[in-house]
Structure formats: structure tokens, C-alpha cells
């Protein structure tokens, strides 16, 4: 069996790390946890420190796409997720891929501009 070097070895992320990933306030993530019942990060210790898994981050990515990127209100985002979860997931994945391609193309353009 080959060693997978691209595999993310981190199991849990702090609320601060997740907030930075999506350029959100930590309070926004805590609020989303109250609004979206399937978004429940693991809590540990007496201080109830939140620990987000990759699955939690995917849920946040979907909510972020609907609310912050596409501009839906929270009620509309909940309705979309509840009625067409697979379609919303695919749309969020596609937007993430397109954003990544755009960043790669911009980096390539900067490299080409540097050659001239």
C-alpha cells in the first residue's frame, strides 16, 4: 500500500482555525450551530472547547456558500439544504473547484507576466 502524502493528518480544528478558513467571526460559527442542527462540533473538557472535524468543515463550507457567497438568508439556506441537500453540496463543491482553478490561473498569469 502506497503512502498518501496529500492526506490531511489533523483530526480536529479549533473554532479560531475554522473561522480563519472562511474569514468569519467565531461568534458567527457559534450562531450557525444554533440555526443548523446538523452542525454540532465535538466539545471537550470543562470549558466545552469546540473541535471541528473535516465533516463539520464541509457543513460550514455549504452554509458559507449559501449565506455569504450566494447571499441567501439563513431561513432560505436551511430550506435549500433540507429540500435539496445533494444539489446544494454539488454546487458548493463546484464553486470551490472553480475558485481553486481561478487562483491557479491567476498565479500562472503572474508567472508569465514576470517572464516578459
Q: At what angle do helices 74-83 and 54-64 cross, to 10 degrees?
A: 120
Q: So what's the pLDDT on residue 81?
A: 84
Q: So what's the pLDDT on residue 27?
A: 94
Q: So what's the pLDDT on residue 6?
A: 56
Please state, rounded to an integer, the average pLDDT across all residues of the chain.
Answer: 84
**Residue from 49, 44, 88, 97 nearest 70 by CA:** 88
Model's pTM, two decimal places?
Answer: 0.67
CB 24, CB 45: distance < 8 Å: no
Name the more confident of 57 and 84. Answer: 57
**Residue from 82, 45, 47, 48 nearest 62 by CA:** 82
Percent of the chain with pLDDT strictly greater than 70: 86
Residue 75 has pLDDT above 60, yes or no: yes
Residues 6+ apart with CB under 8 A from 91: 65
Residue 49, strand partner residues: 44
Q: Where are the alpha helices (DSSP H) in 12-84?
A: 15-22, 26-35, 54-64, 74-83
Residue 2 has pLDDT above 70, yes or no: no
CB 62, CB 89: distance < 8 Å: yes
Amino acid at each position: 500500500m502506497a503512502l498518501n502524502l496529500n492526506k490531511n493528518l489533523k483530526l480536529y480544528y479549533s473554532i479560531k482555525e475554522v473561522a480563519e478558513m472562511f474569514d468569519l467571526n467565531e461568534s458567527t460559527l457559534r450562531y450557525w450551530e444554533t440555526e443548523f442542527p446538523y452542525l454540532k462540533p465535538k466539545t471537550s473538557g470543562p470549558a466545552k472547547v469546540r473541535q471541528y472535524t473535516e465533516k463539520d468543515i464541509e457543513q460550514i463550507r455549504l452554509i458559507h456558500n449559501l449565506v455569504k457567497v450566494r447571499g441567501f438568508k439563513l431561513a432560505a439556506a436551511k430550506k435549500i439544504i433540507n429540500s435539496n441537500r445533494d444539489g446544494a453540496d454539488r454546487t458548493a463543491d463546484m464553486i470551490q473547484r472553480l475558485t481553486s482553478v481561478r487562483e491557479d490561473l491567476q498565479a500562472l498569469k503572474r508567472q508569465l507576466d514576470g517572464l516578459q
